[in-house]
A and B are shown apart, each in its own frame.
Chain A
Amino acid sequence: MTVRSSGMTVVGIDLGTTNSLVAVMGPEGPETIANELGDHLTPSVVAIAEDGGVLVGRAAKDRLVAAPDSGRAFFKRDMGTPTTYRFGKRTWTPTECSARILAEMARIAEVHLGEKVDQVVVTVPAYFHDAQRQATMEAARIAGLKVERILNEPTAAALAFGHRHRNAEAKLLVFDLGGGTFDVTLLEVFDGVIEVKASGGESRLGGEDYTDALLHLVEQQAQLRADAPGRGRLRQQVEVLKRRLATADQAEVVVDGRSLIIDRAAFAAATAELTARLRPVVRRCLRDANFSVEDLDDILLVGGASRMAQVGEFLRNDLRRAGNASIDPDRVVALGAAVQGALCADDEAVQDLVLTDVCPHTLGIEIAKQFGPGQQQSGFFSPIIDRNTTVPVSRMDRYSTFHPEQDEIEIKVFQGEGRLTAENTLLGTLSVRGLRHRAGQEMAGVIDVRFTYDMNGILEVEATVVATGKRLGKVIESRPGSLSPAQIEEAIRRMIPLKIHPRDSLPNRARLERANRLFGELVGAAREALNARVDAFEAALESQNPSKIQEDGAVLDSFMAHFYAEEGEQQPSRRDDDPAAG
């Protein structure tokens, strides 16, 4: 047990596929923090500017519209895989991209709190496997942050809910359809205990897939071919269209100057396959938790995509009730992460709250089975810790050698749900010797294998030779796709920021990128007018004169606001009452 000094702040970061948020426990409960642009949502995008500087957030997102190859979005989907991207004259790992976002979120929190932030709670989809969690931890390390806890997103949502309704006694289903992942979590809240009963999901199903399907539908109806530069812009329009269709029966999209009406039914039909994938996940979770549909008291919606009409219909048909969006689905995860941050920091406000979580995957070892004398077959998976067991947990099972002369066995540790190990992920191995049968030995050739799994998903394997009492232990660290220490060092070195020139500050970057994007959309006199204002602003930046920068920036902003006002939802900014510090 660690004694922690109070007054230390642990912020919660929702590192999302599409957008990221940071939140902190305030006197009134958890609150999300707006960035300098007044947005609570910072796009999870990294890009390289024309001058070689690194852009993150809104600026990077706008940059990608103008130059799709200059950066990367949706890298969360590749976390924990060996995938790399190439932009800005070097290769990037998904982990490095995430590190940039984490550093940015911490910086936003620092500006708001006026103190150094280096302890964080980061959320990940419940269905992230160990390699993906590890990659997330590495990203935080690269960003110079200490991860107090990796928290499952639906669990975070439950925490936000549990914190608000701490005296409730309820069985809840958290339905989290984010940008790139789908998670379902079943939990029970009672006496200040938030007990996760089961969680499951699909790591490649999310709002972006719906956007892709809608984009495809629009392209079909407009008889367009998919060409790269125009497509990026069209995709943004389609994104807006998708959001409109969540509330309207039909909506309009303008493609190449032509107006196209898409109705909700067509969208639903085009995405029926995606929606059909929701149901087995929900059912399996209900089964694992031993809940029936009637048991559920409420359904919490998390993730922007859960607002879609198809989802609402699915919930009504299949779970026979509507979802509850009383806490903003976009922000609930970050808010929950802040609650967990407060728990980690021993905050008074959350003393009466305890969260228990489950492990999302089954862990076990490879075994052979004997079906008769001389008849054996290997490659079977023998589960030791079943999925959805409350963690931390320690479980033991007993195994033996086949043959009295067999002295050694290799324990191969696997994670997954397949019956055969070939379908599962190998996490590591442990060799045990000294099992040959000896005279007078009882239980010769028998070993006990104990798995101990902690809250951060670290697995400890211990094998005991029963006859001799000899023990062997190992912490499983080998995770596919993780970085070596040298690679982490290198990534940290790359992160060291250069001295910040005014043109590199976030609002100015974002402003310039927005201008670049607008430039691509305008023609004629309007483009000229924009050009002149951008030139003036850039000159001001070069002069490094704050008052001039502010003045010319304001001029540019008001000019651009004129055009953006027409687009409306394209700027999903949330300028609410929160003091946008900085």
Chain B
Amino acid sequence: MEQHDILGLSADEAADPAQLRRAYARLLKQHRPDRDPAGFRRLRDAYEELHLGVARDYRHASLPIAETEPEIPSPTPLSSTSHAEPASRPAFRTTMESTWQECTDALSAQLEQQAPAHSVIAAALAVRAWGEDYSPNGQVRALVFLIEELGDKPDLLDEVLTDLDLLQLAEQGGEAEIAGLLEQWEENRKWARLRRFGQAAQSRLRDGYINHTDLIVTIALAMAMRDPALATSLIGTSYPELSSDQRRLVDRADRTIAIGRAMTGWPAQVRYALADALDNEIVPADPTVLGPIKRFLAQTPKDSLIVQEVRQRLPALSAQIRRRLVQRERRPEVAGSGNRFLIWFGIMLILALSRMCSYSTRDHPPAAQQPIPFKIHAIPPSQRLELPPTNPDSQPRSP
């Protein structure tokens, strides 16, 4: 029986909110919540699903378990700028280059509209740093790029640079000096700013100004790599304010924080980039992610545990990506915006998995028997992406 049948309507009639509500009101008098609880629940679930467009037991419905696909799917078409590079170069480097290209393209586009999104600029800087063997020179080049791009729009340049606390640095001269300062900036300013954003968002939330509580979660996600403890407390404070959908975001945030904890001692840039990637989506939403993963697989011994793991999970991953692509076609304005981050995610995934690889030979002691249930996030355990464990032996290195 379809939901609209329960309401005594045809599918077309049920699509009309006014008719739907009238039918619900009429039937409600026959299935009063106090006299006929079961009948009421059925009616209510049907009504909510039609009225709000939410399947009621959505915890199961909204993140469907991927139908298993027999083979690793054939390569998905990639964007023209990506992966045209010689195969001999390490995969992540080439992807970084193409990401940089995308970033600068996006930045140029933004600049044309005279509306530079700061996040894009920050991303450009971060990516630049990456593209140059983690060297701060990349950041300087990003700065130069900014100056070149905005040379004929001094006001705008001023605004952007001031916003990035860069103008002062630019005036101080010497490239090496800028490089050093930029590194510091990357270390301190960006995250201090995020933290301030977080705190501001928190207080605005407390005052009830913010509707999009996911903002908090997002910020916490971004901060997670830097300061897991702060992220935990930030999420904790805002949790009571969250709606159910947002709470599912928090579940992701918990995971991110755990990654952050596990990665203590990793190079700062790696963590930042991963944070940025997680900031956008945890589940990769782009086919380009698959490319690096496959290339990685090709380079790694076939019998290693990590390869087996990834091979096992790839079908589910690609199914999810496809589903997202379908969704994205319905919302074209979102398309493309996350690509670069998602590519990073792919890289980080590889890094994470390779990290895991180094532990995979070690026997993990069986987990202590804990009488606590564990929540399945709609994806069955066999298809879950595992994240690297903390190496109990390694002391955290400072980045």
Tell me the minimal C-beta distance from A147 to chain B in angstroms. 13
Would A288 and B32 count as touching, CB distance under 8 A? no
- Smallest Cβ-Cβ distance to A281: which chain B residue: B208
Would B208 and A279 count as touching, CB distance under 8 A? yes
Would A368 and B374 count as touching, CB distance under 8 A? yes
- Within 351-398 of A, Cβ neighbours of B (below 8 Å) are at 351-352, 354-357, 365-378, 380, 382-383, 386, 390-398
Stretch among B175-183, B188-196, B316-324, B384-392 lining the A interface? B384-392
Tell me the minimal C-beta distance from B309 to chain A in angstroms. 11
Residues of A within 8 A of B255 (CB): 369, 371
Would A374 and B371 count as touching, CB distance under 8 A? no
Would A288 and B28 count as touching, CB distance under 8 A? no
Would B22 and A370 count as touching, CB distance under 8 A? no
A383 and B243 alpha carbons, distance in the complex (Å)? 11
Residues of A within 8 A of B34 (CB): 149, 343-344, 455
Residues of B within 8 A of A190 (CB): 21, 25
Known A366-B372, A374-B389; contact A455-B37, beta-carbon cutoff 8 A: yes
As a 0/1 sequence over residues 372 to 384 of chain B, the CB contacts with chain A under 8 angstroms (1 = contact) are 1111100001000
| Residue of B32, B33, B40, B41 contacting most chain A CB atoms (<10 Å) | B33
- Within 218-269 of B, Cβ neighbours of A (below 8 Å) are at 235-236, 239-241, 243-244, 247, 250-251, 254-255, 258-259, 261-262
* 8 Å CB contact of A287 from B24, B207, B243, B375: B243
A376 and B255 alpha carbons, distance in the complex (Å)? 10
Taking A191-B22, A417-B239 as given, write out 12 further A-B residue pairs in contact, using a Cβ cutoff of 8 Å, ordered by the A residue number. A1-B35, A287-B211, A287-B213, A343-B34, A372-B386, A376-B370, A380-B375, A391-B33, A392-B40, A397-B59, A403-B366, A431-B371
Chosen A-B contacts, 10 in total, with CB atoms closer than 8 Å, are A280-B207, A351-B29, A374-B365, A380-B254, A392-B37, A392-B41, A393-B44, A395-B56, A402-B374, A417-B240
A386 and B48 alpha carbons, distance in the complex (Å)? 14
A431 and B371 alpha carbons, distance in the complex (Å)? 9
| Residue of A192, A284, A386, A392 contacting most chain B CB atoms (<10 Å) | A392
Would B375 and A372 count as touching, CB distance under 8 A? no
Tell me the minimal C-beta distance from A224 to chain B in angstroms. 35
A191 and B25 alpha carbons, distance in the complex (Å)? 6
Would A446 and B376 count as touching, CB distance under 8 A? yes
A527 and B365 alpha carbons, distance in the complex (Å)? 86
Main secondary structure of the interface of A (DSSP, over half): strand
A400 and B247 alpha carbons, distance in the complex (Å)? 20
Residues of B within 8 A of A283 (CB): 207-209
Would A390 and B25 count as touching, CB distance under 8 A? no
Tell me the minimal C-beta distance from A369 to chain B in angstroms. 6
Chain B contact patch, size range: 35 or more
Would B371 and A386 count as touching, CB distance under 8 A? no
Tell me the minimal C-beta distance from B6 to chain A in angstroms. 15
A396 and B41 alpha carbons, distance in the complex (Å)? 13
- Asked if A454 is at the interface of the complex by the 8 Å CB criterion, the answer is yes
* 8 Å CB contact of B243 from A288, A343, A447, A455: A288
Tell me the minimal C-beta distance from B79 to chain A in angstroms. 32
- Asked if A418 is at the interface of the complex by the 8 Å CB criterion, the answer is yes
Tell me the minimal C-beta distance from B230 to chain A in angstroms. 15
Would A368 and B208 count as touching, CB distance under 8 A? no
* 8 Å CB contact of A403 from B29, B33, B57, B367: B367
**Size of A's binding interface in residues, CB under 8 A:** 72
A399 and B376 alpha carbons, distance in the complex (Å)? 6
Tell me the minimal C-beta distance from B114 to chain A in angstroms. 31
Residues of A within 8 A of B386 (CB): 372-373
Interface residues of A (CB under 8 A from B): 1-2, 149, 190-193, 279-280, 282-284, 286-288, 343-344, 351-352, 354-357, 365-378, 380, 382-383, 386, 390-403, 405-406, 408-411, 417-420, 423, 431, 446-447, 449, 454-455
Residues of A within 8 A of B28 (CB): 193, 354, 356
A394 and B38 alpha carbons, distance in the complex (Å)? 9
As a 0/1 sequence over residues 262 to 300 of chain B, the CB contacts with chain A under 8 angstroms (1 = contact) are 100000000000000000000000000000000000000
A377 and B374 alpha carbons, distance in the complex (Å)? 10
A386 and B242 alpha carbons, distance in the complex (Å)? 10
Residues of B within 8 A of A280 (CB): 206-208
A351 and B48 alpha carbons, distance in the complex (Å)? 24
A446 and B375 alpha carbons, distance in the complex (Å)? 10
Known A392-B40, A419-B235; contact A375-B390, beta-carbon cutoff 8 A: yes
A417 and B247 alpha carbons, distance in the complex (Å)? 10
Tell me the minimal C-beta distance from B246 to chain A in angstroms. 10
* 8 Å CB contact of A406 from B241, B369, B387: B369
Tell me the minimal C-beta distance from B242 to chain A in angstroms. 8
Residues of A within 8 A of B262 (CB): 371-372, 375
Known A280-B207, A356-B28, A383-B247; contact A191-B21, beta-carbon cutoff 8 A: yes
Would B375 and A193 count as touching, CB distance under 8 A? no
Would A409 and B373 count as touching, CB distance under 8 A? yes
Question: 10 shortest A-B CB distances, which residue pairs?
Answer: A283-B208, A371-B258, A417-B240, A191-B25, A419-B239, A399-B373, A392-B37, A372-B389, A368-B372, A386-B244
- Asked if B165 is at the interface of the complex by the 8 Å CB criterion, the answer is no
- Asked if B89 is at the interface of the complex by the 8 Å CB criterion, the answer is no
- Asked if B302 is at the interface of the complex by the 8 Å CB criterion, the answer is no
A417 and B207 alpha carbons, distance in the complex (Å)? 18
Residues of A within 8 A of B213 (CB): 287
Would B241 and A284 count as touching, CB distance under 8 A? yes
- Asked if B36 is at the interface of the complex by the 8 Å CB criterion, the answer is yes
